[in-house]
Structure 1
Amino acid sequence: MFIAQAFKYYHQFWRYLIGSLIIIVASVIGQLPFTFAILYKKGFGILGATEADLMQVLDSNLNLFLLLLSFVFAMGGIVLVTKFLHHQPFVKLTTSREKIDWKRIAFGFTLIALFTIISTYWDYSNNPEHYVLNFKPVSFAILCVIAILMVPIQTSVEEYVFRGYLMQGFGILAKNRWFPLLLTSVIFGGLHFFNPEVDKLGNIIMIYYIGTGLLLGIMTLMDEGMELALGFHAGNNLVGVLLVTADWTAFQTESILKDVSTPTAGFQVILPVIIIYPIFLLIMAKVYKWKNWKEKLIGTIELPENTEDSVLNEI
């Protein structure tokens, strides 16, 4: 079982607290190049500027690269913490299977990528006045290289932290599944509270962010591994970065289209959570023959057999 297998390694909760701090420090170190680049460009007069102002200082491709660089450092922190603090094989932070199932990652990626492309094309066809063509061949080519290399790292870091590291840590603490599912979803959504989308659309967008965390958590628990969530998150962000940008989004890129419509928050914010996300889960449940929903989502966690006493008793 995905959460229970963490009992086989050094799993005391203080380790998860220290590990989380190490990952945060690694991420902060990774943010320094972006900070230095801003200071070099504008000097200390930029201090106190809004996030929107900071996003306009650098070239958009350089801006994206430096923003995503912090996730490269964070990934290094996750690898080190898993290996040296928990003595846990990285594959066991990823899945309950013997090895990572790349076909599952590809399925999750393809499902959301196709949906995003089709829904964007439909909206563009019906509301062309909401978009302007933003395609610049050279800039887009550079964007593709940066995005294809680094966006999957960004999304993987978020998945390994929330659906992997904290899901196992909170699961071991509570010895059930519903607590880590809800808590990681709320924390995941809460960390998006400072995104510029919240200022533009209002707090109602938090339903979408928390709901997305809940969707990815359900995928992980029902499938006993993170592969579907890894692929889904990467497909969502990568296609979004390449396809559409807007002046009020967290990532402003040299994408194909630019959304120039006036953003409004309403039922379209809640629609994915209550209708589209359940459809995604039903598709995955059909493909991967998910069963025992109640037990896998809210059941207790049993100590695995053959867990070494030295791991159990270590403090």
Structure 2
Amino acid sequence: MSEPRPAYYAAHEGLVAEARPKPELWRLLVGLGLVAVVVTVLNLVLFSVVVGFGSNAVAEGFLTGSTPLAMIILLSSFGFVTLGVRMAVRRLQNRSMGSVLGSFRRSARQFWVVFRALLILGLVIAVLPPYDMGAPLTPNLGLSTWLMLLPLSLLAVLIQTSAEEVLFRGYIQQSLAARFQSPIIWMGLPSLLFALGHYAPAAAGDNAGLIALWSCMFGLLAADLTARSGTLGPAIALHFFNNLIALLLISLPDNLSGLALFILPYDMSDTDMVRGWLYVDFAVMIVGWLTARLALRR
């Protein structure tokens, strides 16, 4: 007997309903294949254009996100994921993107309610000790340059975070929920895939497993917010807030630092220092999720 769907996830049915007429797993697998093809082909075209108009240094900067332009292009390219999902749900489930996101008005309202609460939380955390990251932060972009780029930077981060939520908490989660009753499957499997996508032992070294675990937990918390709210708005807000801090405010110096106001005084190779702050990130992530839950109850 399948595990019954918890009553507090009743709102999730509004997202799953249009996927139920075509719940076959082969549709999801073929759809993911279609997304992969769309993303791969369009990224190859984009990279060819970047190389064609620039040098090898420009191409390398594009891959690592070491310059503002490279980061804006790199983050915006996640729009290819959203395009791929749109094609997959239309062709294989006869759905619109609106059904994946949930009611636009409700999603936008929930996004703002959660994001506003997270901004307040961020300000509270910022004024509490400790007041540094273990060593003085290194300025990366001048304040005037950072502020000038901020509208484009915010849009690029929103494109990137929305795309990941549309794929994992949207398409995959909803497709599995249309086939399986148990949240263990339709919340757990997308979170494991999300963790796998963030497992990078070549870059993270001994911290790769801990980062993957962090990503899996983030996926579960975002899935919970989606199932409780009935839209992707709260999950996108949580993801956007997290990446805004990590990509636009304080970034690691060795990767994706092109839009950051400051960079940390250590990089991924300093495993002990990074691991210590990862534990802090776990705590902040859980507090952020609880804050989002409270904001949605208002």
TM range (shorter): 0.7 to 0.9
Contact 2:110 2:296 in 1 (8 A): no
1:279 and 2:295 matched: no
Identity of aligned pairs, percent?
18
**SS where residue 42 of structure 2 aligns?**
helix
**Aligned 1:102-117 pairs, distance under 5 A:** 102-116=108-122
Aligned positions, number: 279
Aligned equivalent of 1:17, options 6, 13, 29 = 29
**Aligned 1:183-194 pairs, distance under 5 A:** 183-194=189-200
The 2-side partners of 1:259 and 1:276 are apart by 18
Contact 1:200 1:248 in 2 (8 A): no
Contact 1:3 1:171 in 2 (8 A): no
Contact 2:162 2:236 in 1 (8 A): yes
Aligned equivalent of 1:30, options 42, 48, 51 = 42
The 2-side partners of 1:284 and 1:20 are apart by 29
Question: Cα deviation per residue 1:255-281 (whole Å; 9 max; x = unaligned)?
Answer: 2212113642445423443x4444334
**SS where residue 216 of structure 1 aligns?**
helix
Aligned equivalent of 1:253, options 258, 269, 277 = 258
RMSD of aligned alpha carbons: 3.2
Question: Cα deviation per residue 1:276-305 (whole Å; 9 max; x = unaligned)?
Answer: 444334334444349xxxxxxxxxxxxxxx
Shift of 1:181: 0.8
CA distance 1:197–1:244, change in 2 (3 Å): farther
Contact 1:105 1:230 in 2 (8 A): yes
The 1-side partners of 2:206 and 2:145 are apart by 27
1:55 and 2:64 matched: yes
The 2-side partners of 1:69 and 1:279 are apart by 29
Contact 2:191 2:219 in 1 (8 A): yes
1:112 maps to amino acid: L
Shift of 1:216: 0.6
Q: Which entry has the higher C-alpha Rg, 1 or 2? A: 1
**SS where residue 138 of structure 2 aligns?**
strand
The 2-side partners of 1:173 and 1:164 are apart by 14
Instruction: Point out where structure 2 has 5 or more consecutive residues left out of the alignment.
Output: 1-12
Shift of 1:138: 5.5
Say which is worse superposed, 78-87 or 210-219, in terms of deviation.
78-87
CA distance 1:238–1:30, change in 2 (3 Å): farther
Say which is worse superposed, 132-141 or 113-122, in terms of deviation.
113-122
Contact 1:6 1:168 in 2 (8 A): no
Shift of 1:140: 1.9
Question: Cα deviation per residue 1:200-249 (whole Å; 9 max; x = unaligned)?
Answer: 73422222111111111111122232210011111221243221122234
Aligned equivalent of 1:270, options 265, 275, 279 = 279
Q: 2:153 matched to which residue of 1?
A: 147
Q: TM-score, normalised by structure 1?
A: 0.75
Shift of 1:164: 0.7
Aligned equivalent of 1:220, options 223, 226, 238 = 226
**Aligned 1:168-247 pairs, distance under 5 A:** 168-194=174-200, 198-199=204-205, 201-247=207-253
CA distance 1:265–1:126, change in 2 (3 Å): closer
Say which is worse superposed, 113-122 or 99-108, in terms of deviation.
113-122
